[in-house]
Amino acid sequence: MNRLRITWFIGFVVSILVLFSLAGIAPAEENPYDQAMKAYKKKDFKNAAIYLQEYVEQKPDPYAYYLLGYANYKLKNHAESARYFREAYVLDPNISPFPMKK
């Protein structure tokens, strides 16, 4: 009888683990920043700008504003580009596209 309980318990635990692991496999919806980075890396600046615009509306991130400025620059939207660069520098005056060397 004890052996039956142990077998049942192990089966139950394995079943729960399988259910949780399958839930982790379900495709998660990407946030706009991740979508923007994928587009940006592919040099798809039009879509990168769209996703970055959506992202900065949700979270005013200076680096995202900087990337949005650069994407607009590449799209030859220079007035928009300058606006987003200014916004990045207002949020973080020390922002730089490259890490600072010490």
Q: Which of the residues in the chain have pLDDT under 50?
A: 26, 100, 102
Q: How far apart are CA 66 and CA 52, in angstroms?
A: 10
pLDDT the model gives residue 30: 81
Note whether 32 and 58 are within 8 A (CB): yes
pLDDT the model gives residue 70: 94
Q: How far apart are CA 89 and CA 66, in angstroms?
A: 8
Q: What pTM was estimated for this model as a whole?
A: 0.67
Tell me the pLDDT of the chain averaged across its residues.
83
Q: How far apart are CA 52 and CA 80, in angstroms?
A: 13
CA angle, 68 then 35 then 71, to 5°: 20
pLDDT the model gives residue 100: 47
Q: Which domains does the chain have, with CATH numbers?
A: 32-91 (1.25.40.10)
